[in-house]
Structure 1
Amino acid sequence: MNKQLKDQLYTQAKEWVLEAGDHIRKHIDQPLKIDTKSDANDLVTEMDEQTEQYFAERINEHYPSHQLLGEEGFGDEVTALDGTIWIVDPIDGTMNFVHQKRNFAISVGIYHDGVGEIGLIYDVMADVLYTAKRGEGAFKNDRRLPDLQPSKDLATSILAVNTFWALKNKRVSEEGIHRLVQKVRGTRSFGSAALEFAFVAEGILDGYLTMSLMPWDVAAGIVIVNEVGGITTKADGEPVDMLKKNSILTCHPSIHEEIINEYVSLK
Structure 2
Amino acid sequence: MDWDQIYFHAKEWVNAAGARIRLSFDETLNIQTKSNANDLVTNMDKEIEQFFISKIRAVYPDHKILGEEGFGDTLENLDGVVWMIDPIDGTMNFIHQQRNFAISLGIYENGIGKIGLIYDVFHDELYHAKRGNGAYLNEKPLAPLKDSTVKESIIALNATWVMENRRIDHNLMIPLVRDARGTRSYGSAALEMVFVATGRVDAYLSMRLSPWDVAAGAVIIEELGGFVTNLRGEKLSFLAQDSLFTANQGLHQSILKDYLKEGRW
Q: TM-score range by the shorter chain?
A: over 0.9
2:7 is equivalent to residue 10 of structure 1: yes
> Residue 65 of structure 1 corresponds to which residue in structure 2?
62
Structure 2 Cα separation of the partners of residues 99 and 217 of structure 1: 20
Residue correspondences, number:
263
Please say if residues 162 and 174 of structure 2, whose CA atoms lie closer than 8 Å, have aligned partners that are also in contact.
Answer: no
Structure 1 Cα separation of the partners of residues 68 and 164 of structure 2: 22
* 1:182-216 CA distance string (max 9 Å, x none): 10001000100000111101111100001010000
> Residue 233 of structure 1 corresponds to which residue in structure 2?
229
For 1:108, the aligned partner's letter is L
2:198 is equivalent to residue 202 of structure 1: yes
> Residue 23 of structure 1 corresponds to which residue in structure 2?
20
Structure 1 Cα separation of the partners of residues 15 and 236 of structure 2: 28
Aligned ranges 1:177-216 → 2 under 5 Å: 177-216=173-212
The partner residue of 1:164 within 141, 160, 167 is: 160
The partner residue of 2:248 within 239, 252, 262 is: 252
For 2:234, the aligned partner's letter is E
Structure 2: state its 5+ residue gaps.
none
Secondary structure of 1:27 counterpart? helix
> Residue 45 of structure 1 corresponds to which residue in structure 2?
42
> Residue 89 of structure 1 corresponds to which residue in structure 2?
86
Secondary structure of 2:148 counterpart? coil
**What is the deviation of 1:46?**
0.4
For 1:12, the aligned partner's letter is H
2:147 is equivalent to residue 135 of structure 1: no
**What is the deviation of 1:266?**
2.1
Greater CA deviation, 56-65 or 173-182?
Answer: 173-182
TM-score normalised per structure 2: 0.96
For 2:12, the aligned partner's letter is E
Runs (4 or more) in structure 1 with deviation over 4 Å come to 165-171
Superposition RMSD in Å: 1.3
Secondary structure of 1:15 counterpart? helix
**What is the deviation of 1:153?**
0.9
Assess, with a 3 A threshold, how the Cα gap between structure 1 residues 44 and 124 changes in structure 2: closer, same or farther.
Answer: same
Question: Quick one: percent identity of the two aligned structures?
Answer: 52
Please say if residues 161 and 173 of structure 2, whose CA atoms lie closer than 8 Å, have aligned partners that are also in contact.
Answer: no
For 1:231, the aligned partner's letter is F
Structure 2 Cα separation of the partners of residues 165 and 12 of structure 1: 38
Secondary structure of 2:173 counterpart? helix
**What is the deviation of 1:72?**
0.4
Greater CA deviation, 55-64 or 173-182?
Answer: 173-182
Structure 1: state its 5+ residue gaps.
none
* 1:43-62 CA distance string (max 9 Å, x none): 00000000000001111111
Aligned ranges 1:142-157 → 2 under 5 Å: 142-149=139-146, 151-157=147-153
> Residue 109 of structure 2 corresponds to which residue in structure 1?
112
TM-score normalised per structure 1: 0.95
**What is the deviation of 1:118?**
0.1
Structure 2 Cα separation of the partners of residues 172 and 152 of structure 1: 26
Please say if residues 96 and 191 of structure 1, whose CA atoms lie closer than 8 Å, have aligned partners that are also in contact.
Answer: yes
Aligned ranges 1:211-222 → 2 under 5 Å: 211-222=207-218
Please say if residues 233 and 240 of structure 1, whose CA atoms lie closer than 8 Å, have aligned partners that are also in contact.
Answer: yes
